[in-house]
Structure 1
Amino acid sequence: MDISSIKLYATHEHPCSYLKNRSATTIFVDPLLNMNGRIYSELSDFGFRRSGSHVYRPNCRNCQACIPVRIPVDIFRPNRSQKRCEKRNQDVSMNIVSSIKTDEHYALYERYICLRHSDGDMFPPSREQYDDFLSSEWGVTRYLEFRLSGRLIAVAVSDRLDQGLSAIYTFFDPDEESRSLGVLAVMRQIDLARSLGLPYVYLGYWIKECEKMRYKNQYRPLQAYINNTWLTFD
């Protein structure tokens, strides 16, 4: 399928979720499109992301702050902090599962949202929202469980693209904040992509002025999609 023929729909302007006093517009892929892993992979190389069953990209009239970024895994070099994170979590096991539709997984998500993101769009959490947002789509989604002595402490949602892994979302036990489990989840996805022979891990959008998004700039080298080209920054 020629992706240039895909219909796109734009939202009305709405308050930006990341930058105060700014408006945002989002374009979505036609929800009636017979989406599959191949089309989704191609769209990812043009800066699109997935949220639930929707594939989208920011398209704001007067702002280009949202920059798609990805990690080229073969040349990635962990910094000192990332190395310390991996060493600190040597006692954490990782397991890949095909579903997280259990009370155990939802309880962790609910607690994470309530304690870490009570000021965000996903508060208050609900089971329906959880199922819709973190759904498994087009046969490409897998879930990385992180356990400490058998106890679930984190989950990373990861989509396998033709050319890499897309890090969709990570939630974790707020009591384990000192372990930097978000960093660990990215590092493990880098390792997984490398073991699968996939060249990239997609991190979504980096926003320089947004504190919550700045962490993505810590993975170097990093590639950014600027003016329809992937550029590498060391």
Structure 2
Amino acid sequence: MRHTLPIAPQFYVTAPQPCPYLANRIERKLFTGLQGDQANLLNSALSKQGFRRSQNVLYRPSCADCSACMSARIRVADFQPSRTQRRTLNRNIDLKRNANPPWATEDQYELFRRYLDSRHSEGGMTDMDIFEFAAMIEETPVKSHVIEYSRRDGGENDLTAVCLTDVLDDGVSLVYSFFDPDQSRRSLGTYVILDHIEIARQMGRPYVYLGYWVPSSAKMAYKAKFSPLEIFKGGRWQDIGDPNSHDSAMHPLSTEPVAEQVAKLTLPDIMAPFD
């Protein structure tokens, strides 16, 4: 029987481009590709070190003089919903959840377009067509699901919210979610996160990964409302504490050289002998 040697991940840095979170700043990302039989292991290992997945790429901010972006995750065992979050759960008690393979549909794309046009009309995804949308959903080399939410008494196409979700060895990661912008009373973005906390609890996974939290970024403020929230800061996970105690000031020496960053990464033993 012929075997293929595992390929050690290679890391690269993107060209500088405008930051999507903070005005008048330039972002740069450290990234590596996901491929082969070890993709799930690598996704889990690097998610624990502040990386996020986009299709078949894992990336982490590596800006030259800014370290404002911090990966965030909810500690499931200690989470207790606030009064407002309990009301959100009650308002959405009529929704049902379906976990599907990562396959794009026209109904998803129609909801996605309405969500973008209403919430992110000037964002980088505005021009995404149905083929690019399908690639975002389907080009995944790791264990992923499309979690769909619809009304229990609704019709066949009564799609209300969608989340592309990765399954990690220590939790679930919300890769991208979108929802019906005309149902603002439901607080669907909050509900999707609350339901993923329940999904992680049912799976016995300790964390729900939310992506990046950025101090002073209004669009990221909602993440700090899910307590206890941990952030990946200074090379380790720590409780966020008072969100106002973190700043987004630029510090010229805040980011280590890329070679040092890569050298400090803990990778799965993908070069281990095989049968």
Compute the TM-score of the two structures, normalised by the length of structure 2: 0.80
Aligned counterparts, 1:1-234, within 5 A: 6-30=9-33, 35-135=38-138, 137-148=140-151, 149-150=153-154, 151-233=158-240
The separation in 2 between residues aligned to 1:91 and 1:33, in whole angstroms, is 40
Q: 1:32 to 1:193 in 2, by over 3 A?
A: closer
The residue type paired with residue 231 of structure 1 is: Q
User: 3-state SS of the aligned residue for 1:64?
Assistant: coil
Q: CA deviation at 1:33?
A: 7.0
* Preserved CA contact (<8 Å) 1:51 1:134: no
**Structure 1 stretch displaced more, 196-205 or 94-103:** 94-103
Residue 79 of structure 1: how far off its partner (Å): 1.1
Give the SS at the match of 1:9. Answer: strand
1:40-97 CA distance string (max 9 Å, x none): 1001011000011111011001111100110110001111111110011111111111
Contact map agreement 2:34 2:42 (CA 8 A) in 1: no
Report SS of the residue matched to 2:194.
helix
Unaligned runs of 5+ in 2: 1-7, 242-275
Cα shift readout 1:185-230 (whole Å, capped 9, x = no counterpart): 0011000000001000000100111111111100001111111111
- Determine the structure 1 residue equivalent to 2:257: none
Letter in 2 for 1:88: R
In 1: Cα distance, 2:34 partner to 2:76 partner: 32
Judge conservation of contact 2:36–2:141 (CA < 8 Å) in 1.
no
CA contact 2:33–2:56 (8 Å) conserved in 1:
no
Give the number of the structure whose residues are more often strand, by fraction: 1
Deviation at 1:30, TM superposition (A): 4.0
| Structure 1 unaligned spans of 5+ | none
Report the aligned-residue RMSD: 1.6
The one-letter amino acid paired with 2:160 is I
For residues 105-160 of structure 1, give each alpha carbon's deviation from its aligned partner in whole angstroms, at most 9, with x where no partner exists.
Answer: 11111111122211100012311221222335224111111102331111011100
Residue type at the aligned position of 1:114: D
In 2, Cα distance between equivalents of 1:99 and 1:50: 14
